[in-house]
Amino acid sequence: MTYGLGLFKGMLVTLRNFFRPVVTVQYPDRRVGIFYLAKKANISVIRFLLESPRESVKSLLGLVRVPVYVEQNPRFRGEEFTWYEDRCTGCASCAKYCPLGIIRIETHESGEYLQEGQSYFVDTFDIDIGRCMFCGICVEACPYDALFMGTGFERGRYQRSELVIPIEELKAASKRPSTWFRPQLESQKFDPWKSEADWETVGREAYKWHPKRPAQSGNPNQEDQVKE
C-alpha cells in the first residue's frame, strides 16, 4: 500500500463535507440573502431587486438580519415556572421535594371555607432560579397540577437577586406550561410554544370547581367537592 493513501482518503472526506450544508443554527438572529427576502415578500428576485433596491443592496452585502426563534420540544424544562394560582393549595410539596430548597412559600389560612376542605392563600411563592437546576422534581411532586415547568431560556441578568421569581411575576406571566410530567397535556397535543393553557384544562382532572372560590349554586360537580 502506498504511504499517504489514508491521508488522501481523509482529505476527500473533509472535501465532501465542505460542500454539505452548514448545520449551525444561528441565534438570536441570522443574516439572510436576497432570495430569502424575495421569497418572504412572495415575489421573484428580479422584481424584489427593482421594487426595493435599498433592501436588496443591503441583503446582497449580507447586512439584513432576521430574528431566529428557537422552538424547543414541548417537554423542554425551562425557566419561569408556570404556576396556576387557582390550582395551588399552598401545600408546599414542591418546596419540600426541591433538592436544593430554593422554593419559598408563605401561606395564610383563608379562614372562610377552611372547614369545607378549602385551601390556603399563598402570599409568597419565590423560586430562586439562580440556583435552580431545572430537574423538575417540584413539578413531579405537585399533587394538584398547579406548578409546571416553563418554556423560557433567556434570562440573563446582572445580579443574582434579579433571578428570584416572585409571586407577582409568576401570576403575571403568560401561561405556557411545559408538558414535562404532565401526560394530560401531552395527550391533548398541547404545544407551549404555540398556545397558552388555561388553569381549567391543564390538570389531570378537569376541575369544574375552584378550590379557593365558594361553590356556586348549580355546580354539577358540587358533590365531588364535598367528597374531597
> Under the rule (CB under 8 A), what is the footprint of another protein?
1-7, 9-11, 13-18, 20-24, 26, 31, 61-63, 72-77, 97, 99, 133-137, 140-141, 149, 178, 180-181, 183, 186
**Residue 61 or 172 having the CB closest to another protein:** 61
CB neighbours of residue 224 within 10 Å: 13
The distance of closest approach from Cβ of residue 44 to another protein in the complex, given in angstroms and rounded to an integer, is 24
Q: CB of residue 126 vs another protein: minimum separation in angstroms?
A: 20
Distance CA 80, CA 78 (A): 7
Q: Is 78 helix (H, G, I), strand (E, B) or coil?
A: strand
For another protein, give the closer residue by CB, 7 or 172. 7
Distance CA 92, CA 97 (A): 9
The 10 Å Cβ neighbour count of residue 138 is 24
Grid coordinates of 191: 404545544
Beta carbon nearer to another protein, 183 or 220 = 183
Nearer of residues 25 and 172 to another protein, judged by Cβ:
25
Q: Minimum Å distance from CB 24 to another protein? A: 5
Our CB check for another protein shows the closer of 177 and 212 to be 177
**3-state percent helix, strand, coil for the chain, nearest multiple of 5:** 30, 15, 55
State in angstroms the smallest separation of the CB of 214 from another protein: 32
Q: For residues 18 and 158, which CB has a smaller minimum distance to another protein in the complex?
A: 18
Q: How far is the CB of 30 from another protein (least distance, A)?
A: 8
Can you read off the three cell numbers belonging to residue 144? 394538584
- Residue 130, exposed/middle/buried by CB under 10 A (0-12, 13-18, 19+)? middle
From the CB of 4, what's the least distance to another protein, in Å? 6
Neighbours of 192 (CB within 10 A): 27
| Cβ-count burial 24-57 (b if 16+ within 10 Å, e if not) | eeeeeeeebebeebbeeeeeeeeebbeebeebbe
